[in-house]
Amino acid sequence: MPDTASEIAQLRAALTASEARADAAEAELAQARAVVSTSEAMIQHLRLEIARLRRAQYGQTAERRSRLIDQLELQLEELEAAAAEEEIAAERVRAKTTTVGAFERRRPSRQPFPEHLPRERVVIAPPTSCACCGSGRLVKMGEDVTETLEVVPRQWKVVQTVREKFTCRDCEKISQPPAPFHPTPRGWAGPNLLAMLLFEKFGQHQPLNRQAERYAREGVDLSLSTLADQVGACASALAPLHALIRSHVLAAERLHGDDTTVPVLAKGGTRTGRLWTYVRDDRPFGGPAPPAVIFHFSSDRRMEHPNQHLVGWQGVLQADAYGGYNDLYRADRTPGPVTSALCWAHARRKFFELADIAGQARGAKPAHEISPVALEAVTRIDALFEIERGINGLPAEARLEARQRLSRPLVESLHDRLLTERARLSLHAPVAKASAYMLDKDRWPAFTQFLEDGRVCLTNNAAERALRGVTLGRKAWLFAGSDRGGHRAAFFYSLIVTAKMNGIDPQAWLAAVLARLPSLPVSRLPDLLPWNWAPASNRQKAA
């Protein structure tokens, strides 16, 4: 019997040791998983930083780089979440054993919470007696503060403006203060609500029906027709400000122009409309004028629309090779011909598609499909972009001098090289078509216009940046409800994108404009333009 008891004790000890080893192995495995997850997240974070630095250094050379950054950010988000789960799992397993050291995940240092946020002190009830000896003689020696960032759900309120009536004891006439002005006729919505409504629809691309559904969940029922009525009223109220921005844009000596498709609801489906943009941005050559943009909508892409948009304007138009602008370049145009300056990014894109090195690395494009002529053209054009990055922001005279000295020899050499190679190739060869796009006798002077005018940019990226929000928003609002809706969207895009170009929060600016506009004299209207307006916080700092 004693032998049996001894054996049982030995078996129990062996089982306990085995369970301890199993717990230790499980803890080590969980820790290893946490280390791997954290390492993967760190690698992805570094890849994302490298992609961002390359984009900042070399500019937005292709849409695929922007998509790559979006994909990396999504992957980083997933890896960070997985690393947090693995870390928590490792901590739970480690609590069962004492043989495995703690694993501490490296996290990026968090910046302190902004000072302007209000602080709410929640004081935990202090102890009434010593936890060690039970004495009640406690004296405060300090405190530890733990800050937690919290958000307060959006609060709705009704502002009651009271106008008291008084009667005169002598003449019995009634006296009463005048009624307050509202941003819109028969107004019931405050300026902040209107600004939020407009910015979410045209800046965040949230249709009114989705906004109405969200407001209803928050306890405020506002019908779609009620919200749409306020949008139309705001368009009418903001029309004078829009006119000032349009005048400012058309006062420029150089404009960027581009257009994009806009699906428009039609009977039995949708049809394709167009949204046009004209951008004034003098910052590349150190111009003092603030940047601004104007949008136009049309139901088609006929050339009559650019003629109407730029009637009476003369200057340099940077755009693509769309033939609809050709009437603007006629010598007999009134008040004079517009000078054409074409985009080198468009020309480069045609060669880049034939010399897709990244596609070859992914295995999507065999090496024999890479065109050496296209690859050489891309390399030469990239050298021009490198020169432009070095002179960006300099005065027009300095930019012109650098281009004459550095860029002109490269452009002439590229021109001769493309002519030579095109003569050897079939006219139907892809490289020959890409070369013909640039070497056309009517286009080549427009491509080389930047060598004659220091104000001209090498690309039309300013217009493409202005349209970027529209191209992203199409996935949310799908289509415009009518031609009138397309014109209204162009109206508000002009205001919102102009505010963004001047580094102004569009929603805060719209709220301030709608609050001041009803009582502001017409002579003071320019004070509300984005480049003349300053947030209240900035005005307080200046004071």
The CA dihedral of 430, 436, 437, 440, to the nearest 10 degrees, is: -170
Of 39 and 523, which is predicted with more confidence?
523
For 463-500, how does the pLDDT look when each residue is reduced to its tens digit (9 = 90+)? 999 998 887 777 666 567 778 888 989 999 999 999 99
Instruction: With CA atoms as reference, report the closest residue to 227 among 260, 265, 179, 184.
Output: 184
Quote the pTM value.
0.76
Where are the chain's structural domains? 2-94
Task: Quickly state the pLDDT bin for 193 (edges 50, 70, 90).
Answer: very high
Question: pLDDT tens across 409-431, in order?
Answer: 999 999 999 999 888 877 778 88
Q: Is the pLDDT of residue 103 over 50?
A: no
What pLDDT is recorded for position 292?
Answer: 97
pLDDT given for residue 358 in this prediction: 47
Query: What's the sign of the alpha-carbon dihedral 96, 100, 101, 106?
Result: negative
Q: Provide CB contacts within 8 A for 113, sequence distance 6+.
A: 147, 149
Assess contact for 528 and 513: CB atoms under 8 A: yes
68 has a pLDDT exceeding 70: no
Stretch 505-520: mean pLDDT, rounded? 92
Say what the pLDDT of residue 279 is: 97
CA distance 514 to 506: 12
Q: Which helix (H) or strand (E) holds 296?
A: strand 292-298
| Mean residue pLDDT across the chain | 83
At 476 the pLDDT is 67
Q: Which whole-number Å values give the CA distances from 206 to 199, 297, 379, 392, in the listed order?
A: 9, 20, 42, 36
Beta bridge pairs of residue 294: 278
Q: How far apart are the first and last CA of the chain?
A: 95
Least confident of 64-78, 124-138, 329-343, 515-529: 64-78
Give strand pairing partners of 295: 277
Q: Is the pLDDT of residue 526 over 90?
A: yes
Percent of the chain surpassing pLDDT 90: 40
Structure token digits, residue 255 = 């404009």
Between CA 213 and CA 55 the distance in angstroms is: 39
pLDDT at 482: 78
Please, which pLDDT band fits residue 209 given cuts at 50, 70 and 90? confident
Model pLDDT for residues 130-163, shown as the tens digit of each residue: 888 888 888 888 888 888 888 777 889 898 888 8
In 329-450, which residue ranges form alpha helices assigned H by DSSP? 344-352, 357-361, 372-391, 396-402, 408-424, 430-439, 444-447
Convert 171-194 to b/e letters by CB count within 10 Å (16 or more is b): eeeeeeeeeeebbbeebebbbebb
Cβ proximity of 273 and 262 under 8 Å = yes
